[in-house]
Structure 1
Amino acid sequence: MAKRTVPLVLLLLVVYGVCVPASAQVCRLLGQPALPLLSAQKDINIGAIFSFHRSALLKMHPFTSEPELDIMINKNFNLREFKFAQTLIFAIEEINNNTQLLPGVSLGYKIYDSCSSIALTILSGMALMNGYEETLSDTSCSRPPAVHAIVGESNSSPTIGLASLVGPFSLPVISHFATCACLSNRNIYPSFFRTIPSDYYQSRALAQLVKHFGWTWVGMVRSRSDYGNNGIAAFEEAAKQEGICIEYSEAIFKTDPQDQFLKTVEVIKKGTARVVLAFIALGDFVPLLKVISQHNITGIQWVGSESWITSRTLAETKEYRFLSGAVGFAIANAKLVGMREFLVNVHPDQEPNNELLKEFWETAFQCSFSNSGSGGCTGSERLAELQNEYTDVSELRIANKVYTAVYAIAHTLHNILKDIKSSTKSSKGERPTPQKVLEYIGGVKFTIKTGEEIFFDASGDPVARYDLVNWQPVQDGSLQFKNVGFYDSSLPSEQHLQVSQEHVLWAGDSGQLPVSVCSESCPPGTRKAVQKGRPVCCYDCIPCGEGEISNGTDSSDCFPCDLEYWSNESKDRCVLKVIEFLSYTEIMGMVLCIFSFIGVLLTTIVSFLFYLHKETPIVRANNSELSFLLLFSLTLCFLCSLTFIGQPTEWSCMLRHTAFGITFVLCISCVLGKTIVVLMAFKATLPGSNVMKWFGPLQHVVSLTLIQMIICVLWLTISPPFPYMNLSYYRERIILECNVGSALGFWAVLGYTGLLSILCFVLAFLARKLPDNFNEAKFITFSMLIFCAVWLTFIPAYVSSPGKFTVAVEIFAILASSFGLLFCIFSPKCYIILLKPEKNTKKQMMGKSSPKTL
């Protein structure tokens, strides 16, 4: 059975070869080939894809029958894209007439229409790679490539599709208007180049521009496409670094229903941002502008991307006058000599069978070749008499990028042919290939006749240079583009953006810079506190705390002053803290000085009175030497209080405490001596007793005072008092005080004084029952009681009193105890001397009365 099967198969093959026509054995293209709308076949050809029509309707295939050419072209003809195509042809003809560039080689072109459609762009790209022959033969693979490079497309999304398609085949694509930063990824788009800067730079330039004008609260409208999405994403990243917040971000596309545009307009109307960034393709922007004009929305400061900011169509439409004052970055303008003459010489008669030229003519002159009556095209119309987007050569910003792309390909081809000619290894008849063009174009560097130097970086991008354009009205009611600055990424970072702000006209034809912030700037002395649930640009201004400042606007934090400084009332500057000490010039200091001098005066008066009556019994009976020494010590006590007033210095700090300790011990020693004298006079009654000799007043006063002096010397030697700036007690001021140095020395002086006071009080208390006429023990007891009470009260008051009040308390204790001693001991004697002289007799002094209990 198997043996019979083999001859049967061979027989079938022979029958198939005889019966099937020869034409069926050749590979044939299914469907109809895509043909270029404009073409000229030459030695080396360049492909190009432009959007001659704004949209196309593609029919869905049912896959039940052979597909037909069913593209329904929208008759919305794009004059700007047609101008790009003519610029490409102009550049090619200029190169072909140049004997220095590509001598002996002529360039041709094949230009396709993508109708702004990604699908048609890919279809056109496949046609440019494969050619458009209906059949393939054995020689098809060995023929020269259809094109060596492709120029286009104008929009980012179609260009992404095109670059993805031809990249694996190493066919270079050079775009003149696709700015999406995503196209710089060499891993995904290895054969893509462009003559227009990437949106990576434009987005950062726009963020710097917005920040430059102080706008921190902006709204955004973008195209729902790769161009808009990637551009806004890059802007948001840069805006975040610049401290700019976005209130809303709306996405639209030209094919969206009317409700979507109405929704976007409502968002703009309700928004509080006065600045709106439109990172949007021109075709997507026009439908939105129509709705905005219907709602009469004005007062918006528009910031535009390069896609529409130099659109002559928008500028010349009076309904869009609300765009007056718009600012944005545009590609640097250029002047191409001979360009206008070339453009106005285009005529349908040049290619009578070319429907594209006829459609262009009908659009330019608003006529029709199919209409022979009024409104019909005659062909005698003159483009030179028109003034529209096509004939205007004052704005050749993007057209110049088409021109540059052609020259980049030409210079690359020139370098390849030059190397082939000079190489000994190259075979005869070797021609450039797309792969060679891709290899060489990355290193091409040349200067075009406009003076601009052209080269590509590692990502296939040129140097980013932009003009800052401002829309300003002219007398005919239209708007003109005025350059008010530039952005150049090749300059140092601080010089990237240059703005002539005095030449800018803002929204509403105002010379006043618009304000667009979520919250007003926080003045110096406050800090920003972000409102909960809102962007960081929405904040409240919180005053700085005590001792903190912010010396700039919109400070995010308050900064503490140094220890010796404090914030002023407005919290915007640190000032030296107020230095506090008890001064002679202030009221409290004056009052204490007055009391001190009163004490000295009273003591002096008593001394003078005692001196005048020194021979009287009452003065002599109470040991006049001790009385005068006590009065002298009280004078010193009153005077030593003055050393506590005034700014503390090193000497005053040492003087005040030692003088206080020594004078008070001297004073207490005198009082103690008086008490001992009284006791010894009545207790030491044995004949020949030497008690008074050994316990004489001078001896014990000197010895007791000497002990205090030794304590003070040790104190001053080991750790003396010193002036000290107390920064811890008060935050807002400095207390200048005397630090005691050695706390042990300080409390030793006070303790010794207190010990003598207690001893004196005890002895005086024991002597209270001695005869009244001679005995002054009870007065000493009262004086020491007052003295001890004052100083016992002084200790907690001294510890708890703040600042200069500590010194005041100490002075008060000195004065109060001194006055207590003065009045309690000497006022009774003065009373007798002055008012009861009859009692100032020896008999009265020697008389005894019954003792009284205390």
Structure 2
Amino acid sequence: MQKKMELCFCFYLSFAVLLLQFSCSESIQEAKSGSADIIIGGLFPIHESVNAMGQCNRFSVGRLAQSLMMVHAIEQINQKKELGDIKLGYHILDSCADVTTALKNSLHFMQLNKSSNTDEKQQLSPPVKAVIGDYYSEISIAVTRQLNLEEIPQISYGSTSGFLSDKTRFPSFLRTVPQDDHQAHAIIEILMEHNWNWVGIVATDSEYGRYAVERLQHHAASHDICFAYIHFLPEFLVDKDLKESIGETVKSIVENKNVSVIVSFAKPDHMMYIFNNVLRHQRGKKKIWIASDNWSQSVSCLNTTRWSLRDVGTVFGMTLKSGNTSRFERFLRNIDKNPDMYQNNSFLTAYLSMTDDHVSGSNMSRQIQRLIHMTYPYAVFSIELAVNAIAQAVKNLCNNNRTCASQLKPRQLRDALGSTEFSIDGKKYSFNKDCDVDSGYDIILWRYTSPRTVDMNYKVAHYDIQQEKLMFDPNIESLFHQTKGVSSVCSRCNPGEWKIRQQGQPVCCFECKKCPENHYSNVTDALLCLQCDNTTHYSEEGSQSCTVKETVFLEWKDIYHIVLLASAALGVVLTLVVGIIFLASWNTPVVRSSVGPIALLLLFSILLTFGSVVIFGGKPNDWQCKTRQVLFGLSFTLSVSCILVKSFKIILAFEFDPVIQDRLDKLYKPYLIIPFCMLGQVVICTVWLVYMPPIPMKAYNIPNTVVLKCNERLFPAFGAMLAYIGLLAIICFIIAFKGRKLPQSYNEAKFITFSMLIYLIAWIIFGPVYKNITGRYHSAIEMTVILISAYGILFCLFLTKCYIILCRRSENTTKSFRADVTKFAMGKDSILDKKWPKDSSGIFNEGLSLESLPSPEPLNPVEDRRESINSIMKPSYDDPLQDSQPSLLDYNP
């Protein structure tokens, strides 16, 4: 009994399945042409989904229009008799955007062969020689595997998945559109054009979506573009997880504040759900959307009764190459005039019969107008290209032979398509090695026309696959760049900063650090700061560019230079005044005690020293650099040499030891000492100028400036010059220091000591200061020290004498000088014992005046001076101001 029940159950189950298949086959919607020599199959997603019961729903006017594009293209070829007597036909079925439905319906392309002929062995190939469709990649991947069982070629007008380029797995698949790798690259170009590197991705969880995202990630990695989130949505709208996936996607879009750009490879229905949910949130509005060709021109994505394009933001769309729609629009209008011509098209008949009770008969035109409105230019081009490719291949194979066409095998047609060259509007096309047509992409911009309408056909650019770059129309480029102010980055380093990668963070997320001094960056997100040319440019910390260094030198208008020049000019004037005073008072004791000729030579050297200061300023040139140090060195050497002679003269005049005095007399040759001292400096300066003379140069080691200066180059020679003067100054200092207690009227030793001390201290300080000071005032340091040295000699050796000459004339007399000498001599016991008169008690007698001393015969002032104090005091020339007694004032070297 149980076995009988099982048999009955199996029978009824089998009967139900057969009944279902029969009913389905009877109720299937399709579009067929009349009799034809070659039938071309068509598979279009005229319905966009299936319900839980497996029934097709969500009728798509746009997809119906695409199926009619195939009809129109075939009829055009037949009407023009491009194939001669060979007539093309069509058999169009609905895939309902569902893989299962598509596989079931595409079986009709294969099973019609068996139903049309009772002798299956004699029928070697099915009547459908090729199939055009489907639009979706996941459907084409499944269908082409099935069609390949009978080697039927399939030409898709919209399946762009890169997987289909694998000819080992899909040998019968061709397409008139480029694969998604090119679309991904075009999207990367858009992102790079706007510097968007922190982007969100939404895609359908399908072969198409997975491949597109993988290629987008591949190209993004080489351009430092990162993805904040990637969400895959279930392919089927009836999936129970769809609502949750939509919610997670909307949450990511709303919460990622730095993500302003979302790239979507989703289906139109998915985008409708996303927009309906994300636009409820204020943060979800006014984003930048980059639409793949999957939904870029689908009006069903946006519910314009609830939202407007201004709520969405900006939408860039990737569309396939556009074609001429005018011929197809005329075809649609002809349908409106004679709809009975296509009664065999159940899709069109059902669409045209959609009327409302309250609408008049004019509704027919309204339906056709809607078809025209839903005509996508890219679909016109791709479908027409597919039909033309099949027609040209048939023509090449059969050469207008109907018998050949009826016996043509699908494999022959498939093999011929790969090498066929076909054309549209005079332009030729062909399939590449992957059986794709690299026609490129158009980039469109959704434009707001009214709250309830959106223009989805406004082209702003074209992506050239061969050149791999965006091509802009100059007239509309500004519109494409309207979003350049929108930022979509994880981190942004402004110009003047460089980015430091953070471990564990995406490459687009980094820390920004200011460029150090003398470095700059002039672009955002710089990997490194560029170094300025330190010789000519500089930059502060965090600079965006290098600044040209200011070229500086001690200019004539510089206030410090003016002060130094004024000081030098004052020194020259004072020196000349002192010279005039000395010449006017030439025969006075003060001038005679200063060794008059030597004093004038000393004044001349000081004049030269003040003059040398002038050539230390201004813009350096070759002659100036060679002259300034040499002039100063020789002039100041002459000054110190004169002072050395004066020091010797004072010590020699008051040295009372006959032995020492005799030795000093032999050494004391003033007009030989001065040239000899000068000779040493001349040798040093000559070697310097001949071997490596000073030259003008630019100093680049100064921040922010280039300093024009003289480069002494041979610093040992410069040091030797100063050291030589210093050696003479030290000798003067020692000799003068020894005579610091001589008579007040003759005591230049104190002032020589002080002037040499000023010189030595000034130049000792000068060394390290000159070495460390940089900039325009480098030369001013030496100018200052020279002025100090010159003024030290001028003031110490001549100011007091001029004061006596001009203001204390009573002290500028022979009597005053003799009294000073007498006072000095009274303090010298040895001299008093030998040379000066004493009374009987042995004490010096003040009553014994110098007049009582005997006056010997005239002697040579130097050689005979040691004989007695009287001979030393004997006058050497007549002086009306001098009395009859001898005096040391008469001594001249």
TM, length-normalised to structure 1: 0.81
**Which letter maps to 2:41?**
G
2:438 counterpart SS class: coil
Give 1:459's match in structure 2, choosing from 431, 434, 439.
434
1:219 counterpart SS class: strand
Give the corresponding residue for 1:432: 408
> Does the CA contact (< 8 Å) of 1:214 and 1:515 recur in 2?
no
Distance 1:802 1:514 in 2: 47
- Kindly report which structure 2 residues correspond to 1:544-693, keeping only aligned pairs within 5 A, or say none: 544-551=515-522, 557-567=528-538, 571-683=543-655, 685=658, 692=665
1:481 counterpart SS class: strand
> Does the CA contact (< 8 Å) of 2:551 and 2:706 recur in 1?
yes
Distance 1:429 1:319 in 2: 54
Number of residue equivalences: 789
Give the corresponding residue for 2:69: 87
**Which letter maps to 1:633?**
S
> Does the CA contact (< 8 Å) of 1:579 and 1:736 recur in 2?
yes
Worse overlay, 46-55 or 473-482: 473-482
Deviations 1:509-550 (CA, angstroms, capped at 9, x unpaired): xx8876233389876555566788766666777654433344
Distance 2:405 2:249 in 1: 61
Give 1:446's match in structure 2, choosing from 397, 416, 422.
422
> Does the CA contact (< 8 Å) of 2:66 and 2:380 recur in 1?
yes
Give the corresponding residue for 1:3: none
> Does the CA contact (< 8 Å) of 1:333 and 1:397 recur in 2?
yes
Q: 1:696 to 1:327 in 2, by over 3 A?
A: same
Distance 1:435 1:166 in 2: 11
Give the corresponding residue for 1:62: none
Worse overlay, 521-530 or 473-482: 521-530
> Does the CA contact (< 8 Å) of 2:612 and 2:628 recur in 1?
yes
**1:455 Cα offset (Å):** 1.9
1:738 counterpart SS class: strand
**Which letter maps to 2:55?**
I
Give the corresponding residue for 2:216: 235
Give the corresponding residue for 1:307: 294
Distance 2:560 2:480 in 1: 66
Give the corresponding residue for 2:396: 415
Q: 1:360 to 1:689 in 2, by over 3 A?
A: closer
Worse overlay, 676-685 or 740-749: 676-685
- Kindly report which structure 2 residues correspond to 1:504-523, keeping only aligned pairs within 5 A, or say none: 504=479, 515-518=486-489
Worse overlay, 641-650 or 408-417: 641-650
**1:588 Cα offset (Å):** 1.8
Give the corresponding residue for 1:63: none
> Does the CA contact (< 8 Å) of 2:538 and 2:703 recur in 1?
no
Give the corresponding residue for 1:26: none
Deviations 1:118-151 (CA, angstroms, capped at 9, x unpaired): 2343445555456574899995376233432222
Deviations 1:60-116 (CA, angstroms, capped at 9, x unpaired): xxxxxxxxxxx8323444444444334334433444444331x33333444444332
> Does the CA contact (< 8 Å) of 1:783 and 1:824 recur in 2?
yes
Deviations 1:434-479 (CA, angstroms, capped at 9, x unpaired): 222122111212223x555332222212132444433334469323
Deviations 1:706-764 (CA, angstroms, capped at 9, x unpaired): 22112211210111111121112x22112222211212211221121111111222222
Distance 2:405 2:175 in 1: 31
Give the corresponding residue for 2:669: 696
Give 1:829's match in structure 2, choosing from 777, 801, 805.
801
2:615 counterpart SS class: helix
> Does the CA contact (< 8 Å) of 2:148 and 2:171 recur in 1?
yes
Give 1:477's match in structure 2, choosing from 437, 443, 452.
452
> Does the CA contact (< 8 Å) of 1:50 and 1:115 recur in 2?
yes
**1:200 Cα offset (Å):** 2.6
**1:667 Cα offset (Å):** 0.7
1:326 matched to 2:315? The reply is yes
Give the corresponding residue for 1:180: 161
**1:481 Cα offset (Å):** 3.3
**1:168 Cα offset (Å):** 7.2
State the superposition RMSD in angstroms.
Answer: 4.1
Distance 1:596 1:389 in 2: 100
Give 1:797's match in structure 2, choosing from 752, 762, 769.
769
Deviations 1:604-624 (CA, angstroms, capped at 9, x unpaired): 222222222211123213321
Give the corresponding residue for 1:151: 132
> Does the CA contact (< 8 Å) of 1:641 and 1:815 recur in 2?
yes
Deviations 1:19-56 (CA, angstroms, capped at 9, x unpaired): xxxxxxxxxx9996996753567433333333344334
Distance 2:48 2:416 in 1: 34
**1:827 Cα offset (Å):** 3.4
**1:363 Cα offset (Å):** 5.8
**1:666 Cα offset (Å):** 0.4
**Which letter maps to 2:252?**
V
> Does the CA contact (< 8 Å) of 2:41 and 2:91 recur in 1?
yes
> Does the CA contact (< 8 Å) of 1:79 and 1:360 recur in 2?
no
2:551 counterpart SS class: strand
Q: Percent identity?
A: 28
2:746 counterpart SS class: coil
1:848 matched to 2:833? The reply is no
Give the corresponding residue for 2:271: 285
Unaligned regions of 5+ residues in structure 2, if any? 1-17, 829-893
> Does the CA contact (< 8 Å) of 2:254 and 2:278 recur in 1?
no
Give the corresponding residue for 2:49: 55
Give the corresponding residue for 2:885: none
**1:664 Cα offset (Å):** 1.2
> Does the CA contact (< 8 Å) of 1:53 and 1:73 recur in 2?
no
Distance 2:254 2:412 in 1: 55
Give the corresponding residue for 2:81: 99
Give the corresponding residue for 2:38: 44
TM, length-normalised to structure 2: 0.78
> Does the CA contact (< 8 Å) of 2:634 and 2:681 recur in 1?
yes
1:723 matched to 2:713? The reply is no
Worse overlay, 283-292 or 156-165: 283-292
Distance 2:135 2:263 in 1: 21
2:823 counterpart SS class: coil
1:761 matched to 2:751? The reply is no
Q: 1:171 to 1:134 in 2, by over 3 A?
A: closer
Distance 1:601 1:245 in 2: 79
Unaligned regions of 5+ residues in structure 1, if any? 1-28, 59-70, 368-373, 422-426
> Does the CA contact (< 8 Å) of 1:772 and 1:849 recur in 2?
no
Distance 2:186 2:47 in 1: 31
**1:213 Cα offset (Å):** 5.2
Q: 1:652 to 1:303 in 2, by over 3 A?
A: same
Q: Over alpha carbons, which structure has the higher Rg?
A: 2
Distance 2:624 2:377 in 1: 87
